[in-house]
Amino acid sequence: MAWDRVPCEVSQKRYAMAEAMAKALVKMEEKEMITSKEKAPIQKNAVEGHCPYCDSTDLDYAAGVHKDDIYEYSVTCRACGRSFDELYALSFSGQHLDNDTDLEIG
């Protein structure tokens, strides 16, 4: 229903105000989709070193952060400009001793 079809002047103003607020909310939601740091579920089918939005490999990696058993890089795609996080699982693989370490056995 368009604002000019609303019967009285007060209702028309309220309708126009509500319409403007709805448009502003949509713009805010669109912006949040790109800039929000709130974490979405992890994509299991993601391809390492590829942008999940445009599939480009022209990526800019920021310093990583270690969180529990995950190493997380903040990444920006140079092709489309979007940002995302690339996650790597960490697991214990063994121990490596320096050559100059004396071992006492027995």
pLDDT at residue 100 in the model:
63
Q: Which two tokens stand for residue 95?
A: 């121990």
Residue type (1 letter), 79: A
**Cβ burial 69-90 (10 Å sphere, 16+ → b, else e):** eeeeeebebeeeebbbbbbeee
> What DSSP line would sit under the chain, residue for residue?
--GGGSSSHHHHHHHHHHHHHHHHHHHHHHHHHHH--SPPPP-TT--TTS-TTT----EEEEEEEEETTEEEEEEEETTT--EEEEEEE---------TT------
pLDDT at residue 27 in the model:
64
Task: Supply the pTM of this predicted model.
Answer: 0.50
CA dist., res. 63 & res. 87, Å (int): 12
pLDDT at residue 35 in the model:
47
Tens place of pLDDT for every residue, the chain, 106 residues?
454 555 566 566 776 777 777 776 666 655 555 444 556 667 777 888 999 989 999 999 998 888 888 889 899 999 999 999 898 888 888 887 776 655 666 5
